[in-house]
Amino acid sequence: KVTLTINGNQVQVPSNYTVLEAAKEAGIDIPTLCYLKDINEVGACRVCLVEVEGARSLQASCVLPVSEGMVVRTNTKKVRETVKNVVELILANHNRECLTCFRNKNCELQTLTEELGIEDIPYQGEKRPGTVDDKSHSIVRDASKCILCGRCVNVCKNVQGIGILDFTNRGFYTEVAPAFDVSMADAPCIYCGQCIVACPVGALREKTDIERIWDAIDNPDVHVIVQTAPAVRAALGEEFGLPIGTRVTGKMAASLRRLGFDKVYDTNFAADLTILEEGHELLNRIQNGGKLPMITSCSPGWIRYCEFYYPEFLDNLSTCKSPHQMMGAVLKSYYAEKNNIDPKKIFVVSVMPCTSKKTESAREEMKVNGLRDVDAVLTTRELGKMIKQARINFLELSDEKFDEIFGEYTGAAVIFGATGGVMEAALRTVADVLTGEDLENIEYQAVRGVEEGIKEAELEIAGNKIRIAVAHGTANAAKVLDMVKAGEKDYHFIEVMGCSGGCVTGGGQPQVNAKTLMDVDVRVERAKALYEEDTIMEERKSHKNPMIKKLYDEFLGEPNGHKSHELLHTHYHK
Ligand code: HC1
Ligand code: SF4
């Protein structure tokens, strides 16, 4: 422990703390902008400057280690004036269209400007030319809003292990962009959107589909069906000021009905369906000498990562489409038939915590007879905006249920949204199939949690040894694949999710500001909401979903059967 003085108060903190962390612990708020805990600790923006006794110049507190007897002041005239000056310079070169910005009222630069009492910008010079790249299906990059903080650069490089974005050009013309200034559409970007979540301003955002969806809803000839991913219910409330990890399943269903969707369904239904298909695929591969390890295929960021960086593992991917794509395919076949609706007039909208799903839904592989399974994807953030546009008072809504029958789901489905959840859901079904019993012990703690980037276990089920691994974040996926390639590990089944924490912290989820992230592990809080929902469900195993049984009886036949292959499976090629 080290003792130092901050603003006249003695503070005792661990010796590996920075001054910023020490101040935070003492309840003293130092402003930051480029700082992002564990991801971007570079002292680049100079907003967190403090005065240190004995030092000639002001110091960036986010990179300044504490030391015994240190005397720090955070609120002197010199600090206030310098920091104000720093932010004024950033603003002078910033496209200040705040009122019409996607991030209006949710922008760290805007908040800082208000907190520092900046009312006019003394410097009026030339501005950096601002290019907008909106060519990809998933991500829009607006250089005129970029403040060069580097948060996106480091999340992509260090957390995802990819490095699409970097500083290009020099001096005044410095930009953050993919190498050689290519569009995000042409870069080997996986569209995970972690750069968007890390961005403190409006320089990176999703390509919005809001207007297309309003058009579909307003068109009386179109039957518009919405489905929501497991993880959305754990985060949507944050868009309306609720605490991180508040579960809003019932309010969400109610708000979707009020938005005017003809049917309100849950991707969870299709997650249960995925487990039946994928579970049987796994058993098939194990029993018939198929390609192992089998690797999950529901995270489209991970699929793109595999295609670009580990194509030798493409045959290891489960052939299952991701749940929301399966749902789309079932709606445009079974549901259309049953309700006598022309599938061409059905418009399927998925609400997802993910920006990569926008690109996934547009892939050629995700069509049946030339029709897209899913017509448009909204992020959780975009759904929040639509609810506000419709002037629905979200917080006042009473809980409602999803529509029958594709709104029916089990606890196994809802945990898909957290890292380890797909694995646990699959094990609950595979174990019952192998033992022929209705097992009571269904919580697989070894695959839960975010402490480890890679989780492993060896299970003994009905005399079979099954070796599994779970990786979240593509940098961790790379580590697992390298071990498999080197022959150091030999698994039967691997779950990979493109984002650290799984879908709950996907690139389409509400942004949480850097200050809050110093105290809260968002991955943990949102996952809790899903595990809680699991425990209160009547059925907690996918094969016990009565509507899934009905779907097989009336339409699909059996898991991995002919119809399933036509509608629910695909294959990725080099
Ligand atoms: Fe996911 Fe999935 S869990 S991919 O992580 O398999 O996005 O939430 O919807 O499709 O069900 C995301 C979440 C989601 C699919 C399911
Ligand atoms: Fe990197 Fe993901 Fe952003 Fe692409 S979407 S630039 S892979 S963080």
Mean pLDDT, range 67-77, rounded to an integer: 97
The verdict on the CB of residue 39 being under 6 Å from ligand 2 is no
Rounded to the nearest integer, the mean pLDDT of the chain is: 96
**For helices 323-330 and 267-287, angle between their N-to-C axes, nearest 10 degrees:** 110
* Tokens representing residue 181 in the block: 């200034």
Active site residues: 278, 281, 298, 318, 357, 360, 365, 503
Residues 31 and 168 in one domain: no
Choose the final residue of a domain: 182, 206, 230.
206
Each residue of 480-539: pLDDT tens digit? 999 999 999 999 999 999 999 999 999 999 999 999 999 999 999 999 999 999 999 999
Residues 128 and 158 in one domain: yes
Q: Is the dihedral of CA 454, 521, 116, 62 positive or negative?
A: negative
Residues 549 and 408 in one domain: yes
% of the chain surpassing 70 pLDDT? 100
Q: How far apart are CA 207 and CA 366, in angstroms?
A: 19
* Tokens representing residue 46 in the block: 């100079």
Atom of ligand 1 nearest to the CA of 356: 7
The verdict on the CB of residue 425 being under 6 Å from ligand 2 is no
Residues 150 and 226 in one domain: no
Atom of ligand 2 nearest to the CA of 159: 8
Residues 296 and 157 in one domain: no
Q: Could you tell me the distance, in angstroms and rounded to a whole number, from the CA of residue 64 to the centre of ligand 1?
A: 40
Res 122: pLDDT: 83
Residue 537 and residue 271 in contact, taking contact as beta carbons nearer than 8 Å = no
Q: 98-107, 116-125, 304-313: lowest mean pLDDT where?
A: 116-125
Res 241: pLDDT: 98
Residues 294 and 200 in one domain: no
Q: Whose CA is nearest to atom 5 of ligand 2?
A: 191
The verdict on the CB of residue 162 being under 6 Å from ligand 2 is yes
Kindly write down the DSSP assignment for every residue of 380-398, as one continuous string.
HHHHHHHHHHTT--GGGPP
Each residue of 231-281: pLDDT tens digit? 999 999 999 999 999 999 999 999 999 999 999 999 999 999 999 999 999
Angle at 14 between CA 13 and CA 19, to 5 degrees: 60
Residue 572 resides in a domain: no
Residue 86 resides in a domain: no
Each residue of 413-454: pLDDT tens digit? 999 999 999 999 999 999 999 999 999 999 999 999 999 999
Q: How far apart are CA 238 and CA 221, in angstroms?
A: 34
Query: Residue for token digits 């809080």?
Result: 525
Q: Could you tell me the distance, in angstroms and rounded to a whole number, from the CA of residue 33 to the centre of ligand 1?
A: 31
Q: Strand 223-228 relative to strand 346-352: parallel, antiparallel, unpaired? A: parallel
Over 80: is that where the pLDDT of 149 sits? yes
Residues 294 and 319 in one domain: yes
What's 133's domain CATH number?
Answer: 3.30.70.20
Q: Could you tell me the distance, in angstroms and rounded to a whole number, from the CA of residue 152 to the centre of ligand 1?
A: 23
Greatest Cα pair distance in the chain: 80
User: pLDDT category, 128, cuts 50, 70, 90?
Assistant: confident
Q: Write out the residue range of the structural domain in which residue 504 sits.
A: 211-567
Choose the final residue of a domain: 161, 180, 206.
206
Atom of ligand 1 nearest to the CA of 326: 10
Choose the final residue of a domain: 165, 190, 206.
206
The verdict on the CB of residue 322 being under 6 Å from ligand 1 is yes
Each residue of 164-201: pLDDT tens digit? 999 998 888 889 999 988 999 999 999 999 999 999 99
Residue 289 resides in a domain: yes
Residue 80 resides in a domain: no
Which distant-in-sequence residues (6+ apart) come within 8 Å of 368 by Cβ?
A: 329, 332, 333, 566, 567
Residue scoring higher pLDDT (120 or 123): 120
Residue 87 resides in a domain: no
% of the chain surpassing 90 pLDDT? 96
Residues 303 and 441 in one domain: yes
Atom of ligand 2 nearest to the CA of 138: 5
Give me the count of residues in the chain.
574
The verdict on the CB of residue 193 being under 6 Å from ligand 2 is yes
Q: Ligand 1 test: best mutation among 228, 324, 409, most atoms within 8 Å of CB?
A: 324
Res 86: pLDDT: 96
Residue 256 and residue 382 in contact, taking contact as beta carbons nearer than 8 Å = no
Residue 423 and residue 468 in contact, taking contact as beta carbons nearer than 8 Å = yes
Residues 394 and 428 in one domain: yes
Res 123: pLDDT: 82
Residue 544 and residue 410 in contact, taking contact as beta carbons nearer than 8 Å = yes
Mean pLDDT, range 339-353, rounded to an integer: 98
The verdict on the CB of residue 164 being under 6 Å from ligand 2 is yes
Q: Please tell me the total count of domains within the chain.
A: 3
CB count within 10 Å of CB 549 equals 12
What's 328's domain CATH number?
Answer: 3.40.50.1780
Q: Could you tell me the distance, in angstroms and rounded to a whole number, from the CA of residue 409 to the centre of ligand 1?
A: 14
Residues 14 and 156 in one domain: no
Angle at 500 between CA 356 and CA 567, to 5 degrees: 40
Q: How many whole angstroms from its chain centre is CA 566?
A: 29
Residues 416 and 530 in one domain: yes
Q: Strand 165-168 relative to strand 175-178: parallel, antiparallel, unpaired? A: antiparallel
The verdict on the CB of residue 91 being under 6 Å from ligand 2 is no
CB count within 10 Å of CB 81 equals 10
Residues 534 and 412 in one domain: yes
Res 574: pLDDT: 72
What's 62's domain CATH number?
Answer: 3.10.20.740
Residue 455 resides in a domain: yes
The verdict on the CB of residue 176 being under 6 Å from ligand 2 is no
The residues that bridge with 457 in the sheet, in sequence order, are: 468
Residue 161 and residue 478 in contact, taking contact as beta carbons nearer than 8 Å = yes
Can you tell me the ipTM of this complex? 0.94
Q: Enter the pTM of the model.
A: 0.97
Q: Could you tell me the distance, in angstroms and rounded to a whole number, from the CA of residue 164 to the centre of ligand 2?
A: 6
Residue 348 and residue 227 in contact, taking contact as beta carbons nearer than 8 Å = yes
Residue 85 resides in a domain: no
Residue 574 resides in a domain: no
